[in-house]
Amino acid sequence: MALPSVWSAMRVAVLSLSVVGLLSVRLVEAGQDSGSVIPAESRPCVDCHAFEFMQRALQDLKKTAYNLDTR
């Protein structure tokens, strides 16, 4: 008979943890400032950095290919 009481206790514990988790998530979301968003003008341009990186990588590949061809 002890088995059903263990299962009911587990159910209550899981439900309680779920409720506490959901409430804490809502409190965290409510505590975030909506004015703390960084404007797009001051953020680094990821596309520009990626483009520059790819240009440098392509130049390195061209140099390597030229060096291999001249050997």
Residue-wise pLDDT for 19-51, tens only, equals 777 777 665 555 555 567 766 666 667 777 788
CB-CB neighbours of 31 under 10 Å:
7
The 3-state secondary structure of 19-55 reads HHHHHHHHHHHHHCCHHHCCCCCCCCCHHHHHHHHHH
Q: How many structural domains compose the chain?
A: 1
DSSP 3-state of 14: helix
Between residues 31 and 13, the one the model is more confident about = 13
**Does residue 21 form part of some domain?**
yes
| Amino acid letter, residue 56 | R
**Does residue 37 form part of some domain?**
no
**Does residue 11 form part of some domain?**
yes
Instruction: Compute the distance between CA of residue 43 and CA of residue 49 in angstroms, rounded to an integer.
Output: 12
What's the pLDDT score for residue 60? 93
- At 70, is the pLDDT very low, low, confident or very high (cuts 50, 70, 90)? confident
Q: Which domain holds residue 65?
A: 2-30+45-70
**Does residue 40 form part of some domain?**
no
